[in-house]
Amino acid sequence: MQLILIAGQAGVGKTTLANIIARKAFELGLIPKLLSFASPLKEIAQDRGYGKKENPEKYRRFCQRIGAGKRRQDPDHWVNLFEEEMLSIRKEERKDIKKGTKYWERCIIADDCRYPNEVRLGIKYKATLIFLSYGDRGVDKVEWREHDSENMAKIIDSSGSNNLRKVFQYFIKNQGHEGEFEDKVSSLVPVWCGIQPENGTVVSDYDEHIEDITKAITDLIDLLLLGAIEEEEEDEEDPEEDYT
């Protein structure tokens, strides 16, 4: 089983990239599985009548509110549900191996890696970690970009620190049209899926980089906590806060 996690700001093309990887993985003889940290949350929204296509703004606000509420109760709530589903897929893979099925290897692709504990899960399972950046493209300023689910991506995108970018093995700029983007990433898909080493060379042991990646995640968490503390202080100083 190969796990691929994709991070980046909203609208940067994470789902497009996930779909490209899924198509290419299938062509390579793998069984791609598109999985999302937010899948259980999306199901709750659908059950409550908040359809993404019917009313995307209400859907987004509902998911952000419920998602944040569960994380306050347990920061790993959604990560644990994702891991359960991922392990269920791995069980299916092992059953196929025992049956002697020709095509059995799963490639799990998640296009919504937004929090450090999700990255940590990726490290636990030796995932391919990809960060997708806008590059030179402009980013629309809209209200929902201020939600904390965007904070990690914004910090990494705006940071000149190589240490923060070590959190991800691949830092990809998406600044052309979709055809150019697909051409750009297609050659990397066999590497991301664990089928071949990069540039035909031996890939260094993943474990050699764990210490650097873990340190980078710690730095990132510190920055996120600092931002949260500053926001709380601003709220306390605001005499016009609306309690209605």
Does residue 43 contact residue 173 with C-beta atoms inside 8 Å? no
Full set of structural domains in the chain with CATH: 2-237 (3.40.50.300)
| pLDDT of 127 strictly over 70 | yes
- Which one of 67-71, 86-90, 146-150, 169-173 scores highest in mean pLDDT? 86-90
Write the pLDDT tens digit of every residue in 214-232. 777 777 777 777 655 455 4
pLDDT value at position 201?
44
Please state whether the predicted TM-score (pTM) of the whole model is above 0.85.
no
Arithmetic mean of pLDDT over the chain = 82
- Pick the closest to residue 210 from 171, 166, 170 (CA basis): 166
pLDDT value at position 216?
74
Confidence of residue 200 (pLDDT cuts 50, 70, 90): very low
Confidence of residue 145 (pLDDT cuts 50, 70, 90): low
Does residue 175 contact residue 137 with C-beta atoms inside 8 Å? yes
| pLDDT of 89 strictly over 90 | yes
> 12-16, 129-133, 190-194, 237-241: lowest mean pLDDT where?
237-241
> 140-144, 196-200, 233-237: lowest mean pLDDT where?
233-237
Residue for token pair 């620190």:
161
Please compute the mean of the pLDDT values over residues 146-173 and round it to a whole number: 79
Confidence of residue 55 (pLDDT cuts 50, 70, 90): confident
Residue 142: Cβ within 10 Å count: 10
State the Cα–Cα distance between residues 63 and 95, nearest whole angstrom. 35
